Amino acid sequence: MNILDGKALSQKIRNNVKLEIEKLEENGITPALAVILVGDDPASKTYVSMKEKACGEAGMYSIVHKMPSSISEKKILEIIDMINHNDYIDGVLVQLPLPPQINTTKIIEAIDPKKDVDGFHPFNVGRLVSGLDCFASCTPLGVMEILKEYKIDPKGLDVCIVGASNIVGKPMLSLLLNAGATVDICHIFTKDLKAHTLKADLIVVGVGKPGLITEDMVKDGAKIIDIGINRLDNGKLVGDVDFENVAPKCSHITPVPGGVGPMTIAMLLSNTLKAAKGRDEK
Ligand code: GUN
């Protein structure tokens, strides 16, 4: 059984991004990311400060626009418009979730698709589905990087994705399908989850349910990517897979923590670098 080390890979990618930024600097370009953070959700605040720190370490500018949860949709749209028109900002990210009075779709659709480093704008989602160059959602993109690093070619594999969210499951489906996999995508209404997971050469799970994937649901020699991040009552961080019992059956598996988690920020930096490289085309 091989552990897929996302922590080490994320560091390697972040170092490469840093080197590429040093080269861009010689041409007078410093990649810059603008982040919009609305309200005081503790998890969102933590994620945003991690993103800020990662930008700084890579030599990228970042600016965080912090707003109270009472802010109007109009005001957020005005700020996005300002960022869209700022030639020195390459990427814009609106940390989700937004408060209930804000229409999240309207906010995402206001972002210039060329600065949509989260890959959430329907323009980028459509291009991803069509197999065209685009910004793809960072977590599924990170999964693809892990597969590449460990020379796991999705072509011809039977894959089972568990979780069909816009941020993770659906872009994961497109990326794997575009790479030649045969993909099942399961969700809350799936009648018999085990029937799908048992067939899979590769299981990708990200629903936020500790212990969802048990030993009896996995075929011998399967590969597992666990995107779940769950904090147990005892403080322990676990994924969606019963790691202890499932891992011995697998040929490859990601741990939690240290698997997919660190890849998300690495891919955000990589997407922002890509946006900065395209500055002239804007
Ligand atoms: N909230 C949870 N995950 C994400 C993410 O990847 N990007 C943004 N913008 N918000 C999130």
Quick: pLDDT tens for 40-98: 999 999 999 999 999 999 999 999 999 999 999 999 999 999 999 999 999 999 999 99
pLDDT of residue 261: 97
Q: Whose CA is nearest to atom 3 of ligand 1?
A: 96
Q: Bridge-partner residues for 67, per DSSP?
A: 38
For the chain, give the percent of residues with pLDDT over 70. 99
Find the helix or strand (DSSP H, E) in which 17 lies: helix 6-26
Q: In the chain, list all ranges with CATH 3.40.50.10860.
A: 28-115
pLDDT at 257: 98
Average pLDDT over the chain reads 97
List Cα–Cα distances, 219 to 50, 160, 172, 195, 250, in angstroms. 37, 12, 21, 11, 8
Q: What is the pLDDT of residues 154-176, one digit of tens each?
A: 999 999 999 999 999 999 999 99
Q: What is the pLDDT at residue 279? A: 84
Cα 98 from Cα 128, distance rounded (Å):
24
Rounded to an integer, the average pLDDT of 203-207 is: 98
Above 70 in pLDDT, residue 128? yes
Is the pLDDT reported for residue 212 higher than 60? yes
Domain with CATH 3.40.50.720 in the chain: 138-261
Closest ligand 1 atom, CA of 138? 6
Question: Above 70 in pLDDT, residue 281?
Answer: no
**φ, ψ dihedrals at 86, nearest 5°:** -90, 110
Query: What was the pLDDT predicted at 196?
Result: 98
Give dist(CA 24, CA 32) in Å, integer: 12
What's the gap in Å between 157 CA and the centre of ligand 1?
28
Quick check: 209 pLDDT over 60? yes
Determine the atom of ligand 1 nearest the C-alpha atom of 137: 6
| Over residues 213-227, mean pLDDT | 98
pTM of the entire predicted model = 0.97
For a ligand 1 pocket test, name from 37, 167, 170 the mutation site with the most ligand atoms within 8 angstroms of its C-beta. 167
Give residue 233's pLDDT band: very low, low, confident or very high (50, 70, 90).
very high
**Active-site annotation, residues:** 51, 95, 118
Q: How far is the CA of 10 from the centre of ligand 1 (A)?
A: 17
Residues in the ligand 1 pocket, defined by CB under 6 Å: 93-96, 118, 138, 167, 264
Give the CATH number of domain 138-261; options: 3.30.950.10, 2.60.40.10, 3.40.50.720, 3.50.50.100.
3.40.50.720
Q: Which residue CA neighbors atom 2 of ligand 1 most closely? A: 96
**What is the reported pLDDT for 73?**
98
Classify 28-115 by CATH class. Answer: alpha beta
Query: Atom 9 of ligand 1 has which residue's CA nearest to it?
Result: 95
pLDDT in tens, 244-254: 999 999 999 99
282 pLDDT higher than 80 = no
CB atoms within 10 A of CB 72: 11
Closest atom of ligand 1 to CA, residue 167: 6
Buried/exposed code over 257-271 (b: 16+ C-beta within 10 A; e: otherwise) = ebbbbbbbbbbbbbb
